[in-house]
Structures are given as C-alpha cells and as structure tokens.
Amino acid sequence: MLHEDLAELVRTKVYGLLGYSKLQNAELQKFVDARGLTVAKKPTKKMLVKVLVDADQNRQFTRLFDLPPEMREMIAAFYLSEFNRQDGLHYPNQPPLARTCRQLRHDVLPLFFKQAKFEIEFSLEVDAKWPDTSIAPGPSQMTNVSAAFLSRIPRKYMRDLRKLQVRSRDNLWHDRDPARFPNHDINLCTEITIDPSVRLREHLESYSKEAGGDQGKATAEEWRGLKAEWEKAAEGWYEEAVNEVQRPWG
C-alpha cells in the first residue's frame, strides 16, 4: 500500500473525513470553491487534493453559537462524556471548554455537574488504648480537598449535582503502632435538589456499603441518618464553613 493510500485510509476510517483520491478534478474544484480555499490556476489533481487535505487538518469552526441551543447541548454532552469514564473525580477542575467564554461556561457547567461523578472524602482517626482492641468510631472530618472543592462550587450549580461518591478513610491509632481500620465506602448515585439545603431523594440508583470486604445493603435507618447529615452539611457549605463540617460514622 502506498503512503498516500495509507494516509487516506486513516483520514476516512479513523477521523471520518472525506476521501479525495477517487474524485475527478471537477468535483475536487467544487469542494475547493465551496470552502473558499485558494489554489493555483489550472491545478493538478494532486494540488487540489493537497489543498483539501491541508484544510481538513486545520479545520476551524467559528459558528458554534449560530447553532440552536439543543444542538449545542448535544455537542457539550459529547465533549463531557469522557469525564464519565472515571470512577470518581477527586477535586476536579472545571473542564477547559467552560473557561473559553461566558456563553460556553453557561452551556457546559450545568451538564458537567449533572453528568460527572464526584468523590467526597471523609477522614476518621480512632484512638484505642493498647492492648484494648475495642473500637468505637468517633466523628469523621471532611478532608480539606473535598471541603475546598465543595466550597468553590457556585451555589447556583449545586442544584445540578447528580452523582456523588462518599468515601470514609478510617485510621486507627493504638498507643504503640498505627493500624488500618477497615475502609467504609458509600457509592451514592441519586438525584439532588436544593430547597434551600441539599436533599437526597430516596429513590437511589445504587447505594452500597462496604466494610472489611463484607457487602450489604444499607438499612432505612442508615439512609435517613446519611440524608440528614447531608442536609446539615449543606448549611455549612453555604456559610463557607465547610472545614467545620463533621459527621458521625458507625
């Protein structure tokens, strides 16, 4: 296979571009004229193909805002779909597209917060006197990273949050040696509304609790407790006192 044929195969199969090798000069010239490209007088087929290929490789689209809002939303959703491939965004930055201009920010950010899964992490340290092995978990503190992320979300976008992964990392400290207390993970994917605080609707898409490798479904009482804690935490976020938010874990 010639180099030119291989290059065209990549353009057509991988990038979905039009192949030019089988077109006649008159057809190629129509493409050149329609796109407003410049070419020498009486060009050869090779020259026409080169002009079109170069234009394909340096494509620019400057009429995004001429599209209807519904189509712009579809484009933004496709762009943001890559963020959904991750297990959970830990202290995420806003997507680059949202930083280009105010209008795109208005289009992109609500979809970003609706589609992406965000990891909210708590840290718990338990003191146990040696050799006493009894464990009574105390209050769990939201990590600085998660608190900073939540405090920086503009309040108008809090209502767009849809998928949260709540994670507690527990450290057990004896008088002599540190040890690991089994991690507790709650994967929470649910609808969230604000009125005026954060309320998690009770129809969960998925809700699992993991402790020391044993998996089980959370009881209704555990769910009500978690829901109440989120509502209480929301008040702290709005008052920019996120670092003071504490929650019991047991």
What is residue 70's three-state secondary structure?
A: helix
- What average pLDDT is seen over the chain? 64
pLDDT higher than threshold 80 for residue 224: no
pLDDT higher than threshold 50 for residue 91: yes
pLDDT higher for 177 or 193? 177
pLDDT higher than threshold 70 for residue 180: no
State pLDDT tens for residues 24-44.
889 989 988 888 888 888 888
State pLDDT tens for residues 65-81.
888 988 988 988 888 88
pLDDT higher for 172 or 114? 114
245 token code pair: 């938010």
Where do the DSSP E strands lie in the chain?
117-128, 139-142, 163-174, 178-180, 184-189, 192-194, 198-200, 206-211, 214-216, 246-248
* Interatomic CA distance for residues 188 and 206, integer angstroms: 6
Does the pTM of the predicted model rise above 0.85? no
State pLDDT tens for residues 119-144.
777 665 555 544 444 444 455 566 77
